[in-house]
Amino acid sequence: MNNSLSELDAWLTGSDLQDDVGPDDGYWLAGFDADRQVVLVKLGPYQKLYLRPKQFTRRFYHTLYPLPVESWPFRRQIKLFEDFCTLDLALDLRFQATFDYVLKNAELLPDINAHIRSVYAALVDDAVNLELQGLADGAWLNTGLAEAEKRIAQRINELLAQQQIQCLAVCTLSADFAEFPDVQLGRDAVYVNVLKKTFELNQTKNLELSRQQRLIEEEEIHEKRQQLEHLRRMIDLEQQMQALEAEKQRRLAEDRFEQLTQQLAIEKRLHAEQLQHDTELQEMRFEAELISQEKRQARQRIAESRQLSDQLAHRALLHEQEVLAELRMRQRAQTLMQEHDLAEPTGGEHGEA
């Protein structure tokens, strides 16, 4: 059981990759943590990330994201000296995202390791190419490839460490020669002499090819600069046209605003005049109505007065007729009484005889 734990610890720290490294070769300590996990706290709009502590109780608002140690094998093969030599590179990487790296890429937590591999694959490739290009001078033929292996591993370790990614890289380079399959670097002088001669013969050719390639690149750069200058002028022209168009639209907007302001003022004035006119008409109608009403009332009063006069005249006539009738009755009664009085003495005389 302890044996298996030791092997696991060795895998996690990367010491198993360093078994063939000598005591004086230096050691890159990756510092992996197999139990590293990130806790995401999410309550409504509130969010927080922190490393999972040793004493931790998970709640419903917690989401755990492990940050595992992942292996990343990288293989490359190149040809040197016109295919006379084939170099096989085996680069074994182990990496683990740090909490600082997670904070910068929190939205990628579920696939953080896949993100690291996709983003930094090109940088790893460039770093390896840069070191492999240095092998074209053939200096390693006498000393071997151990130094180149250490340089490549160190460059990769430093590259990812600068990005806050813990990494342990071990590089292995093996050389295979087309006409010397069993040659051992640093030991076979005959091979070294043949290779040097081959290299010297091709060096001039390579230099000429490099010069021509450089001229082509310079011409391409010059052409690209001209294209960029043309593009810049086109962009400047386009910006000027856009500025002129924007100024034109601004002036049109100002003119339109002024027209609308004038139109609004005219409409307000016309509306006020219309209101005044309507008011005057209303007053005139009211006055006419008053005059008409007063005339009707005057006519009514005249009619009532006439009717009252007629009634009074009729009553006076009736009263006068009544008085005349009464006077006539009185006169008749008086006449009758007088006649009666005159008739009474004559009758007395007849009685006495």
User: What pLDDT is stored for residue 200 in this prediction?
Assistant: 63
What is the DSSP secondary structure assignment for residue 10, as one 8-state letter?
H
DSSP assignment string, 253-309: HHHHHHHHHHHHHHHHHHHHHHHHHHHHHHHHHHHHHHHHHHHHHHHHHHHHHHHHH
Selection from 7, 56, 65, 57 nearest residue 37 by Cα: 65
C-beta atoms surrounding 112 within 10 Å: 21
Query: Is the model's pTM score more than 0.85?
Result: no
Tell me the C-alpha distance between 42 and 65, whole Å. 13
What is the pLDDT averaged over residues 24-52? 77
**pLDDT tens, position by position, 328-337:** 888 888 888 8
What is the DSSP secondary structure assignment for residue 115, as one 8-state letter?
H
**pLDDT tens, position by position, 201-241:** 566 777 788 888 888 888 888 888 888 888 888 888 888 88
Tell me the C-alpha distance between 321 and 73, whole Å. 151
What is the pLDDT averaged over residues 284-312? 84
Strand, coil or helix: what is 43? Answer: strand
**pLDDT tens, position by position, 46-97:** 878 888 888 877 888 888 888 888 899 999 888 877 677 788 899 999 998 8
Strand, coil or helix: what is 165? Answer: strand
**Which residue blocks in the chain are alpha helix, DSSP H?**
2-13, 99-104, 112-133, 140-143, 146-162, 189-352
What is the pLDDT averaged over residues 13-25? 47
**pLDDT band per the 50, 70, 90 thresholds, residue 194:** low
Tell me the C-alpha distance between 314 and 178, whole Å. 161
For the cut 50, the answer to whether the pLDDT of residue 256 exceeds it is yes
How far apart, in Å, are the Cα atoms of 105 and each of 49, 143, 163, 279?
A: 11, 43, 12, 75
**Joined tokens for residue 108:** 């990628």
Tell me the C-alpha distance between 249 and 252, whole Å. 5
Q: What is the CA radius of gyration of the chain?
A: 64
CB 116 within 8 A of CB 194: no
Say which range, 44-53, 163-172, 273-282, has the weakest mean pLDDT. 44-53
How far apart, in Å, are the Cα atoms of 202 and each of 80, 94, 130, 143, 212?
A: 11, 39, 21, 22, 15
C-beta atoms surrounding 194 within 10 Å: 16
For the cut 60, the answer to whether the pLDDT of residue 251 exceeds it is yes
How far apart, in Å, are the Cα atoms of 88 and each of 76, 174, 175?
A: 6, 5, 6
User: What pLDDT is stored for residue 181 in this prediction?
Assistant: 52
**Joined tokens for residue 89:** 């590179």
